[in-house]
Structure 1
Amino acid sequence: MSESIDTLVVGAGQAGIAASAHLSRHAIPHLVLEKDRVAESWRTRRWDSLVANGPAWHDCFPGMRFPTSGPDAFPDKEEVATALETFAQTHSAPIRTGVDVKLLKRATGRSGFVVETSQGVFQAENVISATGAFQHPVFPSLIPESAGVVQMHSASYRNPDQLADGAVLVVGAGSSGGQIADELQRAGRKVYLCVGPHDRPPRAYRGRDYCWWLGVLGLWDIPAKAPGTEHVTISVSGARGGETVDFRWLAHRGMTLLGRASGYQDGRLLLDDDLRDNLAAGDANYLDMLAQADAYIAKFGLDLPEEPEAHLLPDDPVCVTDPIRELDLAEAGISTVLWATGYRQDFSWINLPDAFDATGAPLHQRGVSPEPGLYYLGLPWQSRRGSTFIWGVWHDAAYVADQIEIQRNYREYRPASA
């Protein structure tokens, strides 16, 4: 026995919920399958103190409400999950939880797909992969197990009390790595932080959050990263009401900044001599945003308060002027290495070789696969810079649902009789 449905959505996170709302707008019969709970990633796959990196007024679906936060606040992860679940209920999203999708393959002799799951087989004309961008942690094998330190990915980190006594080395200075390193230092830990290439926009400038600035400057809608910046992370924080990140301030409070980790030998972590360059590139990104904002204010005559102090950068700490090139883990008292090194996607359940390039990345145009009937949501830079944000996936889901409706109309067309 199998179930038949026009469109099957895999995943009930923000992407799957957005897909359902837009499919319902077109009255397209559909079903959303989720192996865990609705918005599970927000609930259990992030650290305890995580808050949204965008303010509530911006990082939401239309009509979405957060239970306790005001529009300018940064909701915590539980509040975000609750808001997503409530939105799905309000829109009567047909979600079936506890169903693990095992395999997607092309149906034989007809259009559509066969989808094998832990709860049986489904026949679907269309499938939307809404599993997002964060399936499997990237865990470098740089430091061997014999090094005598506990190694974990940021996906497994919950709070400082979880870690053994001793100093902590955090590798990766994107939003996750920077916020976790700051939390550990505030908890009294000695922290070493490897800082690679990064962007670090101002949290707010001249009375407007950076999400607003990216919007009015048209930067959310950039369709692709500039060449050579594909792996540059963004360091921004909504913690404690929202803060502009500057790693030098963390160093002045006791953190030791390091260049990128590049090797390991005889108990010593080998480090690139790129720390100053990486900080300078982050400064350039920060100052460029201020300059663009100032130009916009001047051009349109906005009455926004001047903020000259935002242009002042702190002095370089000793760890920047005299960078460490080798770190003896034992001598530094490091008991835990925390890898904030991102995630990789997993589409192994899709048995359609022509849907992927030579590296295994999905082929698509704004989420539309060259395999008829297959679609994606939640991919980084799927259509624009904001595609992995809650508000961004809403717009991508509208486009994908529109394409499904267009194809349905073609399939249902019958020539008028003579």
Structure 2
Amino acid sequence: MTHRDHIPVVIVGGGQAGLSVSYYLTQQGLDHVVLERHEKFHSWRVNRWDSFCLVTPNWQCRLPGFPYRGDDPDGFMVKEEITDYLDAFADTFAPPIVEHCEVTRIAKRPGGGYLVDTSQGNYSTDQVVIATGGYDNPIVPPYADQLDPSILQMHSVDYRRPDQMPEGATLIVGTGQSGVQLMEDLHLEARDVHLAVGPAPRSPRKYRGRDAIDWLYDMGHYEITIDKHPNPQHALTKTNHYMSGRDGGHEIDLRRFAAEGVSLYGSVSGMQGSTVEFLPDLEANLDDADASYLGIRTAIDAFIEKNGIDAPAEPPFEKLWRPEQEITQIDCEAAGITSILWAIGFRPNYGWIDVDVFDAQGRPQFHRGVCREDGFYFIGLGWLNTWGSGRFLGIDEDSRYLADAILAQSKQTLRTAS
């Protein structure tokens, strides 16, 4: 029989979510271990480009017992500052973490609890917290295999800086937060950039004297729970609004970049040889992004008026550019495109979890991270409870809630055993 060390609680994932739960379990004196397949905070250290920075203000960094204490609460930490902040948080309580330990299987244990197999030995445990996030498998569509192999293809997770890309133009596919920031990164280096624009919404940055996020926080948007959201399915599937924290923070209007020479197209629909095909949805996607942008401005205006707040006025919004026609096909060779940068997201990988906590589509099912299987939890996912879940702002509340649930379950296990 395989030897197994018994640990009451196993946390899988050594990022900010897993270590936040560990912080509260440490406070409660509950024995546990954190298993991390790389090193703690690996994604922040390794899977970010050189110019990466937060898009939410520093004041939203509120890890348990360790809120941001720097001198720029309204600024946006760059990558090195973020990892310094995370390391300093971990130093406050010395989490029981085992690094370079990959969990290969989790299954139910006969009689209760779980079996955890890893690359560094096996465990039995009463409770499991999955804190691996949703960024395991970079998404690249199947038709990418049909592209001329002379054209370099790279996913955003592997991008670091403009000089990685070969001479010539780059086509960036995707306009979520990563896609638009990588577009700007290349554009600022005077690289020839083409951008396939998807349906992602955009947000103002500064509006009427304050960051839009500050307004939205005061308006209660970060307190809305998924249970009380007017359209929870839309919230769960909606792409994050794009904007930037670079150089003090600014909004990103793709029309302005088009006017400055970035070539815009609609959503990519296929590839064959050196040909890339697009849907004729560029103008619709730009209009939808602007509608989101204007909706946020209108909501802020209403809040200001309702509360009698003295805030400076803003000039009306104007479209700086619009496409003269919808281009549905380009030849990369003719356009000088030598590389494709994919920025269309990730999919989680839960294939190593052999526990009945998923729906028919493979999505974890829980309420505030607590699954129907006793002692099984998820944390660090978007809308675990609120808009702030999965972000620095909401991780304290989420991890404290789970830690209390874990402690209650632990007491129940002890009562049952006795």
Smaller-chain TM-score range? over 0.9
Deviation at 1:265, TM superposition (A): 4.1
Deviation at 1:290, TM superposition (A): 1.0
Contact 1:21 1:93 in 2 (8 A): yes
Work out the CA distance in 2 between the residues paired with 1:299 and 1:67.
33
Letter in 1 for 2:72: G
- Match of 2:116? 115
Which residue, 281, 292, 295 being the options, matches 2:299?
Answer: 292
Q: Report runs of 4+ in structure 1 exceeding 6 Å deviation.
A: none
Q: TM-score, normalised by structure 1?
A: 0.93
Q: Decide which moves more: 262-271 or 227-236.
A: 227-236
* Structure 2 residue 281 is the aligned partner of structure 1 residue 274: yes
Contact 1:104 1:114 in 2 (8 A): yes
Q: Decide which moves more: 209-218 or 62-71.
A: 62-71
1:28-66 CA distance string (max 9 Å, x none): 221111121111100001111100111111133254366
Letter in 2 for 1:343: F
CA pair 48-125 structure 1, distance change in 2 beyond 3 A = same
Q: TM-score, normalised by structure 2?
A: 0.93
Deviation at 1:146, TM superposition (A): 2.9
1:9-408 equivalent positions in 2, closer than 5 A: 9-64=11-66, 70-108=72-110, 110-143=111-144, 144-146=146-148, 148-220=150-222, 221-223=224-226, 227=233, 230-265=237-272, 267-306=274-313, 308-309=314-315, 311-317=316-322, 320-352=323-355, 354-408=356-410
Structure 1, unmatched stretches of 5+, are none
1:98-124 CA distance string (max 9 Å, x none): 21111111112x221111111111111
Deviation at 1:94, TM superposition (A): 1.7
1:124-159 CA distance string (max 9 Å, x none): 110100001111111112232435311110001010
SS where residue 57 of structure 1 aligns? helix
Work out the CA distance in 1 between the residues paired with 2:64 and 2:73.
13
Work out the CA distance in 2 between the residues paired with 1:301 and 1:50.
37
SS where residue 51 of structure 2 aligns? coil
Contact 1:40 1:81 in 2 (8 A): no
Contact 2:38 2:100 in 1 (8 A): yes
Q: Identity across aligned pairs (percent)?
A: 36
1:284-315 CA distance string (max 9 Å, x none): 11111111111111212223322x22x32232
Contact 2:216 2:300 in 1 (8 A): no
Work out the CA distance in 2 between the residues paired with 1:73 and 1:231.
26
Contact 2:174 2:343 in 1 (8 A): yes
CA pair 104-51 structure 1, distance change in 2 beyond 3 A = same
Contact 2:59 2:68 in 1 (8 A): no
1:297-356 CA distance string (max 9 Å, x none): 1212223322x22x3223224xx232211111111000000000100001112112x221
Q: Decide which moves more: 86-95 or 177-186.
A: 86-95
Work out the CA distance in 1 between the residues paired with 2:117 and 2:187.
47
CA pair 198-226 structure 1, distance change in 2 beyond 3 A = farther
Work out the CA distance in 1 between the residues paired with 2:251 and 2:18.
31
Contact 1:151 1:337 in 2 (8 A): yes
Letter in 1 for 2:175: A
SS where residue 85 of structure 1 aligns? helix
